[in-house]
Amino acid sequence: MSRDLVIKDLHISVQEKPIIKGLNLTVKQGEIHALMGPNGSGKSTLANGLMGHPLYDVDSGEVIFNGTDILELEPNERAKLGLFLAFQYPTAIPGVSLANFLRLAVSAVRTKETNGSGDDGLIPMREFRRELREKMKQLGIDDSFARRYLNDGFSGGEKKRAEILQLAMLEPQIAILDETDSGLDIDAIRVVGESVSQLIGPELGVLIITHYPRLLDYIRPQFVHILLDGTIVESGGWELAQMLEAEGYDPIREKHGVVEA
């Protein structure tokens, strides 16, 4: 069965306003893609639409993942198939520790694989703690981090590291990182970038959504795509990111006749 994420002629609107306008993209397991575009080009709309956010309406098109058209699936069903989204603005949940949240999330996506104690379906605590410690050690995260309430009082960098820890624990086939560098200083971008790089391998395909190339210095993509006005106007390799760093988006806008709203 194919583990590719295949997006075909996708159209997404928000409050009846078209945002994504006929987007085509394929991300395979083991590949790293960067989707770059200025603010308002539709990057986060694409990410949320792919994961099934109810405020984003898919008007037409197909999204095939693991051989299944996921557009009729609930967000949790998409996650169980192996799709993951790291949010641009993670939500704080006071009173719920990161460890408890992760245990529930991991158990939910591994329902068929986990023999929980009793009828709760949760991954056994001993097994979960062992795996969590291994992942936190791999990412250089202190054990105390897991005892804190999820994103409550976290700095921007800590919120993004919590998202990367979720990525490590859930072990998806395809991960969408929605502006993971948003709001981070240079040092935090380096830490997050190096953490993601440790998780990349033949079993994980990554779609990095960003408008600055800074994060890509640490997570070098094989494929770079430029999104303007809801559609991909150019695709290439690392040279596209370098061009954007040097020249910005104005030459691309002029080339394709895209006027800022």
What predicted TM-score, i.e. pTM, was given to this entire model?
0.91
Q: What is the mean pLDDT of each run of 10 residues along the chain (261 residues)?
A: 86 96 96 94 95 95 94 94 92 96 94 51 93 95 94 93 95 94 87 91 94 87 96 94 91 86 51
- The domains found in the chain, sorted by start residue, are 5-256 (3.40.50.300)
DSSP annotation of 186: H
Instruction: Kindly state the DSSP code that residue 222 receives in the 8-state scheme.
Output: S
In which residue are the tokens 């640490």 written?
218
The reported pLDDT for the residue numbered 3 is 79
pLDDT given for residue 260 in this prediction: 61
Q: Which residues contact 94 (CB under 8 A, 6 or more apart)?
A: 149, 152
Per-residue pLDDT at 117: 44
Which pLDDT belongs to residue 120? 64
E runs forming strands in the chain:
5-14, 17-27, 32-36, 57-65, 68-69, 83-86, 93-97, 149-150, 174-178, 205-210, 223-228, 231-236
Looking at residue 185, its pLDDT comes to 87
Nearest residue to 172 (alpha-carbon basis) of 41, 70, 44, 24: 70
